[in-house]
Amino acid sequence: MLGYIVRRLIAMVPILFGISILVFVAARVMPGNIAQLKAGQDATPEQVAELEHEYGIDKPLVEQYVIWLRDVSHLDLGESLLRNQPVADEITSRLPVTGQLLIMTMCVSATLGLTIGILSAMNRGRFLDSLLRGVSILGMSVPTFWVATLVILLPSIYFSYAPPFGHVGFFQNPWDNLRQYSPPALVLGFASGCGLARIVRGSILGVVSQDFMRTARAKGLSESVVIRRHALGNVMLPIITILGMEAVGLLGGTVIVEQVFNLNGLGRFLLESALSRDYPAIQAMALIVGVVVMTLFLFIDLTYAWLDPRVRLTGESHA
């Protein structure tokens, strides 16, 4: 197991190297740069060139990349050209916002997805099954940004209510914190939970007719106990995969939701950095997202081996 983890961690290095090159090039082929944006439309070419020299973006691309790679190897993510602050400090200050939002969203998604999926499977062919399947399709079809906008507009129009804006720490004011993070977590969690519900329903229906399920029913166990004790245990692997993929997808979903709900998280930081061509911030965020995604996939593989002893990790001894 330890050898497998070490090999996976080593394999991350060339992947991250490739990601850094792609993002570095992609950020610089976009029209405009931070110097032109800061100088303004009325700036002379000399003023723009002076800012480009100050930021070091007038150097050859290879030299810029080598300098950035050298700094990253010393755990220096550089300084934000837009905010004149270390990128590491910006990420550290915004990490609690996105972290709490993702944790709450995953809790909503898992609870909603498992509940709808199990109830739908237990009532296959009945009205409740049709209703829950319709809700799942609706949740997957409606754009997240549209739902997020309605969640803000409708309460403010009909009830004169709006969630607090600006980050409020949970231990500082738990009530305001939950009022602030619950709406975006519900918006993101509902969409991802509906997708999970369909996977759960299909996975459970795929095992309910197998011999071990009929044996459990023959022992006199109720249908709910049969599904909870026997069916769920055999469909956890695909559920774990879907939850992991949803967590990866939510990293992108936070960009829109944080913007709509005015949350100063990592998603909003990435969006603002991309719009302003803040190269150090864009490259640092891409690197961090790459590390998070690959670490998450490693965690999923390890969870597979823990849940199902029949699963062997590549490279492990078969003795």
Is 12 within 8 Å of 294 (Cβ atoms)?
Answer: yes
- pLDDT at position 245: 79
Rounded distance between C-alpha atoms, residue 91 and residue 80, angstroms: 11
Averaged pLDDT for residues 163-179: 79
Task: Specify which residues 79 forms β-bridges with.
Answer: 86
High-pLDDT (> 90) share of the chain, %: 13
Averaged pLDDT for residues 270-284: 89
319 pLDDT higher than 50: no
- pLDDT at position 127: 92
Q: Where in the chain is the domain with CATH 1.10.3720.10?
A: 96-264
Q: What are the tens digits of pLDDT across the range 122-154?
A: 888 899 999 999 999 998 888 888 888 888 888
Instruction: Give 201-236 as a DSSP string.
Output: HHHHHTTTTSHHHHHHHHTT--HHHHIIIIIHHHHH
Q: What are the tens digits of pLDDT across the range 34-80?
A: 888 887 777 788 888 888 888 888 888 899 899 998 988 888 888 88
Band of residue 312 on the pLDDT scale cut at 50, 70, 90: low
Band of residue 310 on the pLDDT scale cut at 50, 70, 90: low
Rounded distance between C-alpha atoms, residue 54 and residue 246, angstroms: 41
CATH number of 96-264: 1.10.3720.10
Residue 232: partners with Cβ closer than 8 Å, 6 or more residues away: 118, 204
Give this prediction's pTM: 0.81
For 86, phi then psi, to 5°, come to -55, 135
Rounded distance between C-alpha atoms, residue 44 and residue 17, angstroms: 37
